[in-house]
Chain A
Amino acid sequence: MLRGFLKINMKKLLKNNLVIMIIFSVVVLTMPIWMQPFGAAYPDILQKFVIFGVFAIGYNILFGLTGYLSFGHAAFLGVGSYTAVWSFKLLTMNIIPAIILSVIMSGIFAVLMGYVALRRSGIYFSILTLAFAQMCYNLAYSVLTPITNGETGLQLAKSDPRVIDRLFSEAGEGLPSTTLFGIETSGYSGFYISAVVMIIVFYISLKIFNSSFGLKLKAIKSNQNRMRYLGFNTRPYLLTAFVISGMYAGLAGGLLAATDPLAGAERMQWTASGEVILMTILGGVGTLFGPLLGVIIIKYFENIFSAINQLDLHSFYSIFPTWLENAMVSISSLFVGEGWHMTLGLLFMLVVAFLPGGVLEGMQLTYKKLTTYVSKKRNKTGGESKKETGVNHGK
């Protein structure tokens, strides 16, 4: 009796938002510790994990809940970055105004883009967003070079006005760095600031997933026509979801600029939009944690796998005899270093083919298999009568 009670309690506990948030925060904030064995415990990659985490969480609100596949979210990321860098140049090196402005700016862009693109659904919607994003990219790349500095990317200069900062102090020697009221926002402090932001926006997304608004979005995904027959005007809901996810992307762009004050046009390219789609699908579309897993996998590949060279491989295989070592190195070198794209592609194909729910589904499946295996084994040793119930339970 008691055992059953505890089990239910545990399950209930895990459904409780507060418990989820506490566990989630602890996992995120301890990343510098548990990423150590993977060789990924350095500030830059940790920042990328959480910042692209924000991006993917936002993307998941649109794609995961409504099923609308946007191919243009990188545009908002870029808009956010450019806005933030301009705020650093014109106003102040404090990241608060920069981030607020980048969220607002990308929100405005999202309203414009969503208003047009959401007139269509399915593949037409995707193409419209793609076209819009490519347009933004080309504008940033060549037409609007006075604002974006083209391919070179927008950078800080010593001669920038920084009106608000100048009210309080004189310009120092060398370029100033981004701060949060005196705390430098690069390195580990940049990671913790971004991580706290991500935890907050994760909570918002959790609330959206569990709200009636989220339910309506899910209903749109399952059958939009039926919703319309019931008298629902779906457009405002879609637009809201689109703008929210656009603002998430803008926030991510602002954070990118806050941790490293540089904005380049390639952040808006379609490959960047494709990346967030890959992240979401790889991790698990429509799940809360899936996109974050996808972010970690892809950023890990991009930064760590791409840096493995033949020298590292030789030392890795050095226990084997020389001929085998050389053979192994030449085979594996195809998949690391500049071949990291191929490894990622293979992984993506495997996931899409065998685990449509993403890596998260894979983890759930293994967990289930593992627990049934353990309970079976336990029942086997427990005697005849229990074995029977165990089998029934398994069915």
Chain B
Amino acid sequence: MSDKKNEQTNILRRKILTAGGAFAMAGAMPMFYTKSVWANEFPNDPGKAANVTLGFNIPQSGAYADEGADELRAYKLAVMHLNGEGDGGLMNTMQPSMLKGNGILGKKVTFVTGDTQTKSDAARASAKRMIEKDKVIMFCGGSSSGVAIAQQSFAQEAGIIFMAGLTHSNDTTGKDKRRYGFRHFFNAYMSGAALGPVLKEEYGTDRNAYHLTADYTWGWTQEESIKNTTEALGWNTTKTVRTPVGAGDFSQYITPILNSGADVLILNHYGKDMINSLTQAVQFGLRDRQVNGKDFQIIVPLFSRLMAQGAGDNIKGILGTTNWNWTLQDAGSQAFVKSFGQVYGFPPSQAAHTCYVQTLLYADACERAGTFYPPEVIKALEGHKFDGMGNGATEYRAEDHQCFKDVLVVKGNENPSTQFDLLEVVQQVPRSQVEYDASIFGGELGPYKG
């Protein structure tokens, strides 16, 4: 019996000891975890480590999941090339380039991935995990401008550079621009400027346009830009209707168009939304109609091959713009299509292209700056002029971190030769035609130190 008693008291004593220890640890905690201070050091400095980690934050679920999947492929390819594996892709055609195929600044590149779920909250949570846990030196991704803007403002707070992927809203490098955010992709204003003359030529100056618009920053700015362009041509805007992202069924928005007197439908939709709304518009017989004595037309200002694939025959003859298309014949585009095709067996989308280019541009900027210290890398990117990346001569404008380059006006191919040959380039609009003054959208970049 006395044995048992001893055991019991022992257990109790042990518990008290553990509890006491835990208390002591709790008390000492603030000393372990003090926030890193900005001085000469910076967050997630790889220091002497052999590896450097990049974070790829992409939509793996939601309306933009297809784009996200292709972006991830491109990121993996970029990491391979940076580490000197594969055929080097665009590293061979990029000019100027300081990339040597030995990682970035001699450190091997590794990466972590995250799912933005096409939601700002989830994207920020995922970005925070990458920065706080995985210690990434740069993160990139996108597919929704709302998400990109949310991540970009977080990048500024955290002091980690964000290289935006597919984001087309004017706000990303306009009123919501940030010193730590960079965009290679073109924007809604450029789409409008490029599309204008072609629309005039194809459809004349006397048209009534009806807009269906994805209800968030990208949709709003694209609607505004396209409206400005078409109204300058002399078109009339019948009505603009906002639709929720990921709605799935657009029939309730399409029926009113039939009696609105409009003879052009402009779909400011992207991803699965655009596939659904276009398919339903065609099913409702809009394209077979005659209104005001003219053929009814549909325009999709922002096009992508992935969407064209999803929409099938419905996209034939429909006009839009893209940032890049795999059928381009320049050396850069050819090199990228070749190395992407070798690894994955099909040509890349424009989302893949912009993400790949962004990763290489960041790596090159680090090499040129000779450091990972963000303010220096930012300065290396600002005003940087480069060529050979598939879009011709390109410049990262210092005032708003927007890339300026040629824009493609495309049309759904009437007679595709393969299942990927879906877009036909109508016109390669020169950079000078889509350029604008950085001050028209307002916004402030903010300080170099986050």
Decide if A170 is an interface residue (CB 8 Å cutoff).
no
Given contacts A3-B1, A23-B19, contact A43 B60 (CB under 8 A): no
Instruction: Report yes or no: B60 in contact with A30, Cβ–Cβ below 8 A.
Output: no
- Chain A residue, CB-CB nearest to B110: A311
List, in ascending order, chain A residues with CB within 8 A of B32's CB: 32
Interface residue count for B (Cβ, 8 Å)? 53
List of A residues within 8 angstroms of B171 by Cβ? 152
- Interface 9-residue window, one of A202-210, A227-235, A262-270: A262-270
**Contact of A30 with B153 at beta-carbon distance under 8 Å, contacts A153-B146, A260-B124 already known:** no
Assess whether B206 is interfacial by the CB under 8 Å rule. Answer: no
Whether A173 contacts B446 in the complex (CB less than 8 A), given A26-B23, A30-B22, A32-B33, comes out as yes
Selecting from A124-132, A184-192, A358-366, the interface stretch reads: A184-192
Task: Check B45 for interface membership: any CB of A closer than 8 A.
Answer: no
A175 B156 Cβ-Cβ under 8 A: yes
B25 interface residue per 8 A CB criterion = yes
A interface residues, how many (CB within 8 angstroms): 51
* A111-144 interface code vs B (CB 8 A; 1 in, 0 out): 0000000000000000000000000001001100
B35 touching A184 by the CB < 8 A rule?
Answer: yes
- Given the known interface contacts A152-B150, A184-B35, A307-B129, the answer about A6 and B8 at a Cβ–Cβ threshold of 8 Å is yes
Is residue A44 contacting chain B, with contact meaning CB distance below 8 A?
Answer: yes
Q: How far is the CA of A42 from the CA of B19 in the complex (A)?
A: 24
B26 touches A26 (CB 8 A): yes
A residues less than 8 Å from B26 (CB atoms): 26, 29-30
CB of A141 within 8 A of CB of B19, answer no
Q: Does residue B119 face the partner (Cβ distance < 8 Å to A)?
A: yes
- Tell me if A10 is interfacial: C-beta within 8 Å of chain B: yes
Q: Render A32-43 as a binary contact track against B, CB cut-off 8 A, 1 for contact.
A: 110000010011
Chain B residues with CB under 8 A of A369: none
Tell me if B215 counts as interface (CB < 8 A to partner A). Answer: yes
Is B447 close to A, CB under 8 A?
A: yes
CA gap between A10 and B1 in the complex, in Å = 19
Chain B residues within 8 Å of A30, by CB: 22, 25-26, 29
DSSP class of B's interface residues: helix, strand, loop or mixed? helix
**A269 nearest in chain B by CB position:** B119
Is B8 a contact of A158 with CB atoms below 8 Å?
no
Is B428 an interface residue when CB atoms closer than 8 A count as contact?
no
Tell me, rounded to whole Å, the shortest Cβ–Cβ distance linking B448 to chain A: 10
Query: A145-186: which have CB < 8 Å to B?
Result: 150-153, 155, 158, 173-175, 177, 184, 186
* Residue pair B244, A141 in contact (C-beta under 8 Å): yes
Q: Does A309 contact B (CB under 8 A)?
A: yes
Which chain B residue shows the least CB distance to A27?
B22
Give, as a whole number of angstroms, the nearest-CB distance from B154 to chain A: 8
CA distance A266 to B61 in the complex (A): 15
Q: List residues 37-86 of chain B with CB under 8 A from any CB of chain A.
A: 60-61
Contacts of B279 in A (CB 8 A): none
Measured between beta carbons, the chain B residues less than 8 angstroms from A33 are 25, 29
Query: Which residues of chain A from 51 to 95 have a CB within 8 Å of any chain B CB?
Result: none
* Interface assignment of A337: CB less than 8 Å from any CB of chain B: yes
Q: How far is the CA of A151 from the CA of B217 in the complex (A)?
A: 7
Supposing A30-B26, A338-B61 touch, asked if A177 and B157 sit within 8 A by C-beta, the answer is: yes
B19 proximity list for chain A (CB < 8 A): 22-23, 26
Q: A142-B242, A262-B150 are in contact. Are A44 and B119 (CB under 8 A)?
A: no
Contact of B115 with A306 in the complex, beta carbons under 8 Å: yes
CA of A30 to CA of B60 in the docked complex: distance in angstroms?
34
Question: Are the C-beta atoms of A262 and B120 separated by less than 8 Å?
Answer: yes
Min Cβ gap A117→B in Å is 25
CA distance A174 to B446 in the complex (A): 5
Q: Which residues of A contact B25 (CB under 8 A)?
A: 30, 33
B17 at the interface (CB under 8 A from A): no
**Are B5 and A3 touching (Cβ within 8 A)?**
yes
Complex Cα distance, B151 from A264, in Å, reads 13
Partner of B216, one of A48, A151, A262: A151
Taking a contact as CB atoms under 8 Å apart, the answer to whether A175 and B157 are in contact is: yes
CB distance from A292 to the nearest CB of B (A): 18
Is residue B149 within 8 Å, beta carbon to beta carbon, of the partner chain?
A: yes
Q: Is A108 an interface residue (CB 8 A)?
A: no
| A303 and B60 contacting across the interface, CB-CB below 8 Å | no
How many Å lie between the Cα of A304 and that of B129 in the bound state?
9
CA gap between A303 and B32 in the complex, in Å = 24
- Of chain A, the residue at the smallest CB distance from B144 is A151
B30 to chain A, nearest CB (A): 8
> Is A48 touching B125 in the complex (CB atoms < 8 A)?
yes
A42 to B134, CA, bound (A): 9
Instruction: Decide: A43 near B447, CB < 8 A? Known: A142-B215, A307-B113.
Output: no
A184 to B35 Cα, complex, angstroms: 10
Q: How far is the CB of A42 from chain B (nearest CB, A)?
A: 4
B121: which of A22, A23, A266 is its contact (CB, 8 Å)? A266
User: Which residues of A are at the interface with B, using a C-beta cutoff of 8 A?
Assistant: 2-3, 6-7, 10, 22-23, 26, 29-30, 32-33, 39, 42-45, 48, 138, 141-142, 150-153, 155, 158, 173-175, 177, 184, 186-189, 192, 260, 262, 264, 266-267, 302-304, 306-307, 309, 337-338, 341
In the assembled complex, 5 residue pairs joining A and B whose CB atoms fall closer than 8 Å, in A order, are A3-B4, A42-B128, A153-B121, A307-B113, A338-B61
7 nearest interchain CB pairs?
A: A151-B216, A44-B128, A42-B132, A338-B60, A42-B133, A152-B146, A188-B33
